[in-house]
Structure 1
Amino acid sequence: MFNISFSSLTASEIREAANQKLALNNLSDWERDIWTFTEAFLNKKNNTFSVLTSGSTGKPKLIKLSRKQLEVSAAATINFFNLQKRNSTLLAIPASKIGGKMMIVRSALAQLNLSCVPLSANPFNGIKLNEKFDFAPLTPMQLFNGMSDVSTSKKVENLNTILLGGGEVSNLLFSKVQLLKASVFHSYGMTETASHIALRRLNGKNAQPYFETLSNISIALDERNCLQIEAPQFSKEVIATNDIVKILSPNQFEWIGRFDNTINSGGVKIQSEAVEAKLFNFLKFRFFIAGIKDEALGEKVIIAAERSPMNKSELSKFKALLEQKLSKYEYPKQVVFIHKFRETDTGKVQRSESLLHTVAKLDLK
């Protein structure tokens, strides 16, 4: 772990420290990413910044964002969470991606104290037991692992506000965060909007089942029922997404799932995420629902399981659970076994890529 004190050091001093660090040959990639962007952002001559998209639905692509876009997004977060000078914040997500970059921008603008830890599925391993943080952006996977590990679960209690992003929040994690005193928010956003444009409170008295947009954001649906975003501060054009949503009010929406994950099986449309939600609390291994080509149905529903193949007894119990929880249209025709799901840097499962690494298949009848 190392700290960058934006509250006590000038931009010139931090840039000098960054250049000294970058001159070293023994920096790890995560450290180099942090110092490289910090130095670049504090250099006022730089007005555009290149950022890689997450690659959760395809190959990551490089896009350019302006200094003004980053600062407007950071200011919205600073104001919403009332971040104050000298607040302690945590950077445990990649500075090579928009989430990590924005945490550096927020820290610079609000003069926060930023603690940086190695990238890990459980970043709490790199934090001292009594160390407290006012604000911590994490992926759902990181929070889940931190709460599930008995050696780090108490460290999670030292966070005041948690901002989850970069992935979906499972039913199991949702139930876990109800036990936290920290305020936990789930963010909706993308690289193109320089981080989140909407937030959902997951726990406490003000918990809500929907996302609420930040100021100066307009939302609408396209012909696929996918979210369209008008955010003049980020883009002159309407930003199209592949997220199927239900709009509840001019600034509130419920996330349904990805258009990419809609399965058309014999003319019946099935949303993968809706089926997964019915099973999350009952399966002890990671899984996802997908559709693959089928001559008769066009697409057939399958379930991918991150585990070794089941024996006869396990398969019998598994089929009984599926029959109990799912409709006949949702019931998978096949289960495929994958040793390890492929993921992006932020922990999003790459479904198509993962299916290429299937080790066994069993028909479910």
Structure 2
Amino acid sequence: MAINSDIPVLRLNQHQIPLDALRLGSPFPFATTAFEKATVDFCKGWLRGDTSFSIQTSGSTGTPKEITHTRMQMLASAQATISHLQLQATDTALVCIPTSFVGGRMMLVRALALGMPIIALEPKGNPLGRALAAKVPIGFVALVPLQMEQCLEHTPEFLPKLASTRAIILGGAPVSSQLEKALMAVPCPVYHTYGMTETVSHIALRRLNGPGPEKAFALLPGIEAELDERNCLRIKGEVTQGQWIQTNDVVSWKTERSFVWLGRADLVINSGGVKIFTESAEAHISKVWKTTERFFLFGLPDNQLGERLVLVVEGLPWPLAKQEEYLARFVKILPKYHAPKEFIFIPNFKETPTGKIQRKATLNLTDKKH
């Protein structure tokens, strides 16, 4: 794919930056926040024709590490998304997730490669609501689920303005059942992404709203996938330079080109001989979760069961009666032996720089052994 060089301006927060100036490497002292610096630095490198770019993984599933993407890998990823979503050069790209990580960086690449106007807003609070309030014509945007929830909760009056939006993609975290229901009110297509830094952002999408919401992720063009002996996904394509990437994600095939994500193999809990996929159980719990506190399931050592399932909640401890009420709800909606046995309350969860919960690091804040 050739680079479109006709984009005249990058709008970065309140600044208008001519892309020709970025291409020439002009200094921009007003770029003071981490987001502004990362956005300007990457655009400079891309526009001057750099052929490789280093990037840090988020650290949500292990120690953060630095890897390198080639320009060709990034263009292959961009082309797959552009083709699948039928993006056009006239669509304005709203970039409002961190551009120091792969999700935000690839939003810049898609826009630069296709020639889309770019509006980059600080990724805090409710950037989509801020953009809609400012009458920004949004053609394509990537959000984390929390940002989508903020828009739906605090600025629902602006949702009709999304009617002409080509697509919203959500990534970086699971999408709760409550959010999936709320997305039915969004008048443009909303997709959940599957991917990772090693695959240069997403390699599969599933539609979350509209007349036929999907449970399965559809592979993007040019992506090959297979399962290992654990039923964990392996991925290959131009985005991986033709090398197989091994994941710890357990999936089941729906068709030859689509799969249902079940959970991470390293988060499976074996309690009394029963294998519990924590993320699948969390999706069930979210259906009866009537509070705003975040939560996750975890397995703690148990002499009798091997591991016992506990629910870790962010916030102050609940009254015992409320805990018992919720534990009773879980027994009703979860498969046998899949309900947590107790609550653990932690004031603040540990997070990665992209806002993903670090489960083990969070448990380290307590005296619970794992």
Note the 1:33-182 alignment, pairs <5 A: 33-44=38-49, 46-124=50-128, 126-129=130-133, 130-149=135-154, 152-159=155-162, 160=165, 161-182=167-188
Measured in 1, the distance between the counterparts of 2:81 and 2:333 equals 40
Cα distance, 1:315 vs. partner? Answer: 2.5
Provide the secondary structure at the position in 2 that maps to 1:127: helix
The question of whether the paired residues in 1 share the 8 Å contact of 2:93 and 2:118 is answered with yes
2:14 matched residue in structure 1:
none
Provide the secondary structure at the position in 1 that maps to 2:247: strand
Provide the secondary structure at the position in 1 that maps to 2:74: helix
1:315 matched residue in structure 2:
323
1:304 matched residue in structure 2:
312
1:7 matched residue in structure 2:
7
Letter matched to residue 150 of structure 2: N
Please, which moves more after superposition, 115-124 or 243-252? 115-124
Letter matched to residue 263 of structure 2: G
Cα distance, 1:278 vs. partner? Answer: 1.7
Note the 1:349-364 alignment, pairs <5 A: 349-358=357-366
Please, which moves more after superposition, 313-322 or 258-267? 313-322
Where structure 1 has 5 or more consecutive residues not aligned to the other structure, the ranges are: none
1:286–1:62 CA distance, 2 compared to 1 (3 A) = same
Within the candidate set 193, 198, 201, 2:204 is matched to 198
The question of whether the paired residues in 1 share the 8 Å contact of 2:143 and 2:168 is answered with yes
Aligned length, in residue pairs:
351
Cα distance, 1:155 vs. partner? Answer: 3.4
The question of whether the paired residues in 1 share the 8 Å contact of 2:327 and 2:340 is answered with no
The question of whether the paired residues in 2 share the 8 Å contact of 1:7 and 1:85 is answered with no
Within the candidate set 204, 218, 225, 1:219 is matched to 225
Cα distance, 1:20 vs. partner? Answer: 2.4
Cα distance, 1:6 vs. partner? Answer: 5.7
1:334 matched residue in structure 2:
342
Measured in 2, the distance between the counterparts of 1:261 and 1:6 equals 47
Measured in 2, the distance between the counterparts of 1:13 and 1:86 equals 22
Measured in 2, the distance between the counterparts of 1:78 and 1:213 equals 14
- TM-score, scaled relative to structure 2: 0.89
Q: Note the alpha carbon deviations across 1:34-70, whole angstroms, 9 max, x for none.
A: 00101011111x2111011121111211000101001
1:213–1:128 CA distance, 2 compared to 1 (3 A) = closer
Measured in 2, the distance between the counterparts of 1:193 and 1:258 equals 17
Cα distance, 1:322 vs. partner? Answer: 2.6
Within the candidate set 248, 257, 260, 1:254 is matched to 260
Measured in 2, the distance between the counterparts of 1:234 and 1:310 equals 47
Measured in 2, the distance between the counterparts of 1:322 and 1:203 equals 27
Cα distance, 1:296 vs. partner? Answer: 2.5
The question of whether the paired residues in 1 share the 8 Å contact of 2:56 and 2:64 is answered with yes
Letter matched to residue 318 of structure 1: Y
Provide the secondary structure at the position in 2 that maps to 1:133: coil
Measured in 1, the distance between the counterparts of 2:367 and 2:158 equals 37
Letter matched to residue 270 of structure 1: I
Measured in 1, the distance between the counterparts of 2:239 and 2:148 equals 31
Letter matched to residue 336 of structure 1: I
Q: Note the alpha carbon deviations across 1:105-149, whole angstroms, 9 max, x for none.
A: 111111111111112142235425122201011111110121112
The question of whether the paired residues in 2 share the 8 Å contact of 1:226 and 1:244 is answered with yes
Measured in 2, the distance between the counterparts of 1:223 and 1:277 equals 25
1:227–1:321 CA distance, 2 compared to 1 (3 A) = same
Measured in 2, the distance between the counterparts of 1:280 and 1:120 equals 24
The question of whether the paired residues in 1 share the 8 Å contact of 2:327 and 2:341 is answered with no
Provide the secondary structure at the position in 1 that maps to 2:27: helix
Residue 27 (structure 2) pairs with residue 20 (structure 1): yes
Cα distance, 1:331 vs. partner? Answer: 2.3
Letter matched to residue 286 of structure 1: R
Letter matched to residue 359 of structure 2: R
Measured in 2, the distance between the counterparts of 1:220 and 1:136 equals 30
Measured in 2, the distance between the counterparts of 1:300 and 1:51 equals 37
2:286 matched residue in structure 1:
280
Measured in 1, the distance between the counterparts of 2:354 and 2:31 equals 24
Cα distance, 1:90 vs. partner? Answer: 0.4
Please, which moves more after superposition, 152-161 or 307-316? 152-161
Letter matched to residue 110 of structure 1: L
Q: Note the alpha carbon deviations across 1:329-356, whole angstroms, 9 max, x for none.
A: 1122221001122222333221111222
